[in-house]
A and B are shown apart, each in its own frame.
Chain A
Amino acid sequence: MNPRVLYHIARADFFERVRRYSFLVTLAFTLYAAFEANRGNIVVNLGHYRGVYNSAWLGMLLSLTATFLITMVGFYVIKNTVERDRQTGVGQILAATPVSRVSYLTGKALSNLAVVGVIAAILLCTAFAMQLWRAEATGVDPWKLAAPFLFLTLPALVFLSVLAVLFECVPGLRGGFGNIFYFFFWTGLLGAGIGAHIDYLDLVGAGYVESSVKQGVENLPGYTGGFSFQIGPHGGESFDTFVWNGFHWTAGVIAARLTWFVFSLLVLMLAAAFFDRFDPSRGIFRRFAARRRVGASGTTTEEEVGALPGTVSLPASGPAGAGAETSGRRAAAIEGHHLTPLAAEAGGWMFGTVLAAEIRLMLKGRSRWWLLVALGLLIGSFAAPAGEPRGKVLAFAWLWPVLVWSAMGTREAQHATGPLIFSSARALGRQLPAVWLAGTLLALVAGAGAGARSIAAGDWLHAFAWFGGAMFIPALALALGVWSGTSKLFEGFYTALWYAGPAQPTAGLDFMGASPNLSARVPIFYLAATIVLLAAAAVGRRRQIRS
């Protein structure tokens, strides 16, 4: 591996990313997190205690915040580096250079690391600024501020950077399924660290943070256990403070964190094995199959040589004039074609036709297995008993089509069909509502059992929540899709919202009425949110149509 090559792959990719408007959004989000931390809305508390804002505590708090947020959201920010080369065609140029798979992917992982490193650096600066601003402890200790970033955050960021590259290289994880899968993978790692206390699986390092800070508070009066890391307002609760002097970076702790570098190396090798070098015919499985064929016959057949990329098949010899003759005949044949003039109906409102077309487009390419699972969940939502079981089935019935919804509003950008569609009449007034309605109909059908049973039982509140949820999901998908131009934002956000809301269920986040105990205010809120989201989608689409 040539370090200069790695540097330039990473540098070019990093510059390409940070010069996009989307990076400004990432920075704005980071600065907002820093602002919230300074306001005291991001806290680590142990019962009614929290640490004095000294260098040790703030280093720990902001490092934990950085690691938690970046490993959760940052994945979706950085998982596009290989895909960008694929879409822009730069990959074709790179594939024709001597750069190896491992070098290319290492460069890309380094670029990922640089992007998330910027976010972490902002939060490290925030820790320093907070200590001066809050002035609860004098004397800034740079080591105590930075060490948690070095030992807790950095290994997690390295692993995340490489993992994002792996997801881009494995065909099944490259798309929307990978985005959803990652969320549950991350949740699992978090549980392994905090719940099960398996140190070498604790990516965020929360388990070690918990055990370390607990040592400082164990003998204080009124402490009965508990450790909590909260992001968001905590109801103005005031905490008693104690002085915490920081982590003890023992060899064992450092070794446990260093294992993430080893994991990263393994993941990078795995990614290189899967990477197709921008030629779908060169994926790991195809390479393996080709080797077996060659190995079995001991030689490569002519047919196989013809199938290899970059090999040109010459046409069989024939009369020199044959091609020209055919060409002339076919070119002349154009005069025989006839185009029927369109009937007067062309240019009419035709909303039903557009809606039907959007539904067909939405479901096109779904496998029979996909439909079978959706049908199973539909039947399940009819059959499940009222209350929590039916709510759970509805929740899963409305998680299953997430990849269908996530294409809404992004399809035109993803497949570059925008100029064709936006230059059509009523692209805003007809096509956009048809897309949303198609998504709503899908939700209504997928969760029909729960809705029908609620109506039959006269449970109008749950029926209202069900109907509101069916309108809310595609409105959210459309708004996020139109404004971000990528399906990842909806896939990540919706999965997190689904997990925190209907899957738990948490009352205020239960946008579909999966909880047996439902307040009327919740569906009304999501109905209002639907209207706002649709308006946002319309404004965004209008902007796209008239650049």
Chain B
Amino acid sequence: MRLEIQDVSKQYEGKLWALRNFTLDLAPGVLGLLGPNGAGKSTLMRILATIANPTEGRVRWNGVDIAQQPDVLRSELGYLPQDFGVYPNLNAVEFLEYLAAVKGIGAQCARRRIDELLALVNLTDARKRPLGGYSGGMRQRVGIAQALLNDPKLLIVDEPTAGLDPEERVRFRNLLSELSGERIVILSTHIVSDVEATATGIAIMSRGRLVAHATPEGLLARLEGKVWEWVVSSDELTAARQHFLISTVTRRSDGVHGRVVADAPPGAGAQPAPPTLEDAYLQAVAGERSAEAP
């Protein structure tokens, strides 16, 4: 099982490049795709889900070009888009039965699978209610269930935890971890903690480019000895922000505690701190931005 993304670029009308020369090779596991808003994550997801064509480059699923033969991937694909709708007059079972048919799953097989999926996403009690009356979080869970209908080998989930309450977010993270054994899962998000809990690999995007790809441990190792906890006064904070990359700030009685990502201690009293993925993410994105700046 292999997904190869080779030099993929996507240009929209108006000459905007949403993706530039994106290359990545994926094997089973969970890839956390991180990036700020507008980084090109959703564009990449749409290309991988076969509903958008790359302007340049190619994507191969087990050696088959998905632009040439999209159905080869589609029959093994589960896709949860960032924005999607439902048919408001159908209930969850009817909606999933419809999508199961569209995905080519037999009625009997689909029925059992739908029951199990609704239990998995905690919607068994609401299964007979029209979808039009569902909350945003409940609809999102229906979306998660539909993505798993055909037992996909490639599961693409774009901002899947948007709208979910903390409890459901934890459930979904657990679910992704359990599912990742013999399939490729691509989880696109800008919530670092979602990736931290589930991903076996992390790709960081910024301005349409891949700026980092490593295991979580690999990303953290790069920052070893480069993260500092530094206490400054409120007045000094603005100046500190101008000179250093500060990932988080906490106000306490003794001053402002900032986590600073820097090669050397930012100032007197700065103490080394263990790096987190959030530090690594911010450092990668900031590094790319400064490289782009004139």
A residues with a Cβ closer than 8 A to B are 327, 330-331, 334-335, 337-343, 345-350, 353-354, 356-358, 360-361, 364-365, 411, 415-427, 430-431, 545-547
Contact = CB atoms under 8 A, between A and B. Distances in A.
A345 B109 contact: yes
B52 A546 contact: yes
Nearest to A339: B116
A189 to B, nearest CB: 34
24 contacts: A334-B120, A334-B174, A339-B117, A343-B106, A343-B109, A346-B75, A346-B106, A349-B104, A353-B107, A356-B101, A361-B90, A411-B87, A415-B86, A415-B88, A417-B85, A419-B49, A419-B81, A420-B81, A420-B99, A424-B103, A426-B71, A426-B74, A546-B52, A546-B53
Given A422-B51, A423-B79, A546-B53, A346 B167 contact: no
A341 B148 CA distance: 11
Contacts of A430: 102, 104
A426 B46 CA distance: 17
Given A327-B166, A345-B106, A416-B83, A339 B75 contact: no
A364 B52 CA distance: 31
A339 B112 CA distance: 9
Contact of A545 (B51, B85, B101, B116): B51
B50 interface: yes
B98 A361 contact: yes
Given A360-B98, A425-B104, A339 B174 contact: no
Given A339-B117, A365-B89, 19 more contacts: A330-B167, A331-B170, A334-B120, A334-B178, A340-B116, A346-B75, A346-B104, A346-B151, A353-B106, A354-B104, A357-B97, A357-B98, A357-B100, A360-B98, A411-B87, A421-B99, A426-B74, A431-B102, A547-B53
Nearest to B101: A357
Contact of A360 (B94, B100, B102, B151): B94
B140 interface: no
B102 A424 contact: yes
Top 7 A-B pairs, shortest CB-CB distance? A416-B85, A357-B101, A365-B89, A419-B81, A425-B74, A425-B75, A415-B85
A347 B104 contact: yes
Nearest to A337: B120
B174 A364 contact: no
A349 B75 CA distance: 11
Nearest to A421: B102
B79 A342 contact: no
A425 B103 CA distance: 6
Contacts of B102: 354, 357, 421, 424, 427, 430-431
Contacts of B52: 546-547
Contact of A364 (B75, B89, B143, B175): B89
Nearest to A366: B89
Contacts of B166: 327
B101 A419 contact: no
Given A331-B167, A546-B53, A346 B89 contact: no
A341 B113 CA distance: 8
A427 B51 CA distance: 11
B150 interface: yes
B75 A347 contact: yes
Contact of B51 (A339, A356, A547): A547
A422 to B, nearest CB: 5
A423 B120 contact: no
B105 interface: yes
A334 B144 CA distance: 14
Nearest to B91: A364
Contacts of A547: 46, 51-53
Most B CB atoms within 10 A — which of A342, A348, A365, A416? A342
Given A335-B178, A419-B84, A327 B99 contact: no
B251 interface: no
Contacts of A349: 104
A135 to B, nearest CB: 44
B146 interface: yes
A393 to B, nearest CB: 29
Contacts of B143: 420
A346 B74 CA distance: 12
Contact of A331 (B120, B171, B178): B171
B200 interface: no
A339 B94 contact: no
Nearest to A545: B51
Contacts of A354: 101-102, 104
A327 B166 CA distance: 9
B170 A327 contact: yes
B286 interface: no
Interface string B5-21: 00000000000000000
B165 to A, nearest CB: 9
A417 B86 contact: yes
B175 A334 contact: yes
A335 B177 CA distance: 11
A356 B100 CA distance: 12
A338 B117 CA distance: 9
Nearest to A338: B116
B119 interface: yes
B77 interface: yes
B122 interface: yes
Contacts of B70: 546
A353 B70 CA distance: 22
A434 to B, nearest CB: 9
Contacts of B79: 419-420, 423
Contacts of B112: 340
